[in-house]
Amino acid sequence: MVPLRRIGLSLCCLLLISFASACAEDSYKVVRTYPHDPNGFVQGLLFSHGQLYESDGLYGQSSLRRDDLTTGRVLQQYNLPSQYFAEGLAAWGNELIQLTWKAHIGFVYDRTTFRLLRTFHYDYEGWGLTQDGKSLIESDGSAYLRFLNPNTFAVERKLQVTDHGRPVTQLNELEYINGKVYANVWMTDKIAIISPQNGHVLEWINLAGLLPDVERRGPNAVLNGIAYNPATHQLFVTGKLWPKIFQIVVVPGK
């Protein structure tokens, strides 16, 4: 028979270990602040070929944009018909792929001209989009990521995202950075860093205080938008209707 005290001790250790790991949270340091159009309801942000691209949502205001990072000026813009609420954005070759929230339709554009080349259909909601060089990776507000064939848009794999066994829902804007998937969790100041192999949240970045509440235009003006420039190793974050884009470095938690 195992003595009760031993069981108690082991349980305590387990609790301590899981508590300690659940609490390990990264913070951030702002490297530089750039202006951003405060009317841009950011749903997707990315660097491709040295250019900064953005997808903005809201019905009647959705667009695809190319921004000048330094001045915040919009250099190029395509406005979507008013029945579409644009969502996640990914670059694939010379194309840009943009999701819509509930219309079950995705748009494929020529990256340089923004000419609409084709559309595709999907059965679920469109939230975040990124790619890992092999597949498109899509979120739909649930705890699942879908890996899609970038040519046929067929779902190849579905991966549940969990933090210590608990499903993490509301996964929104996505960015694939150095072998991991970064995901904004909707309505929070947190970004989950996810293993694309097993769906485990490896780390959390807590971006609380990045844009103070007084500078946020209402409850929908949440953190959303992660862009990584692989050429310069710079990481940028912004939010919906945020007047700024922040270049940050992640400060590892203890």
Residue number, 172 or 247, with CB nearest to ligand DDQ: 172
Nearest to 133 by CA among 119, 150, 121: 150
> Going by C-beta distance under 8 Å and a sequence separation of 6 or more, which residues neighbour residue 56?
40, 41, 42, 43, 62, 63, 65, 86
Written as one letter, the residue type at 204 is W
In angstroms, the CA 108 to CA 111 distance is 9
In angstroms, the CA 95 to CA 77 distance is 15
Kindly tell me which residue out of 48, 98, 135, 172 binds ligand DDQ, with binding defined by CB under 6 A.
Answer: 172
Residue number, 53 or 85, with CB nearest to ligand DDQ: 85
Q: Least distance from C-beta 19 to ligand DDQ, angstroms?
A: 31
In angstroms, the CA 183 to CA 129 distance is 10
Taking residues 9 to 48 in sequence order and writing x for each that binds ligand DDQ by CB under 6 A, - otherwise, the string is ----------------------------------x-----
Residue number, 20 or 187, with CB nearest to ligand DDQ: 187
Q: Least distance from C-beta 28 to ligand DDQ, angstroms?
A: 22
Kindly tell me which residue out of 101, 182, 204, 228 binds ligand DDQ, with binding defined by CB under 6 A.
Answer: 101
Whether the CB-CB separation of 36 and 244 falls below 8 Å is answered with yes
Kindly tell me which residue out of 51, 61, 206, 220 binds ligand DDQ, with binding defined by CB under 6 A.
Answer: 220
Give yes or no for residue 236 binding ligand DDQ (CB under 6 A): no
Whether the CB-CB separation of 38 and 243 falls below 8 Å is answered with yes
| Residue at shortest CB range from ligand DDQ | 220
Give yes or no for residue 63 binding ligand DDQ (CB under 6 A): no
Q: Least distance from C-beta 186 to ligand DDQ, angstroms?
A: 5
Give yes or no for residue 98 binding ligand DDQ (CB under 6 A): no
In angstroms, the CA 101 to CA 87 distance is 6
Written as one letter, the residue type at 182 is Y
Kindly tell me which residue out of 28, 78, 109, 127 binds ligand DDQ, with binding defined by CB under 6 A.
Answer: 127
Backbone angles phi, psi at 135, to 5 degrees: -130, 160
Give yes or no for residue 186 binding ligand DDQ (CB under 6 A): yes
Taking residues 140 to 159 in sequence order and writing x for each that binds ligand DDQ by CB under 6 A, - otherwise, the string is -x------------------
Nearest to 172 by CA among 30, 53, 41: 41
Residue number, 101 or 204, with CB nearest to ligand DDQ: 101
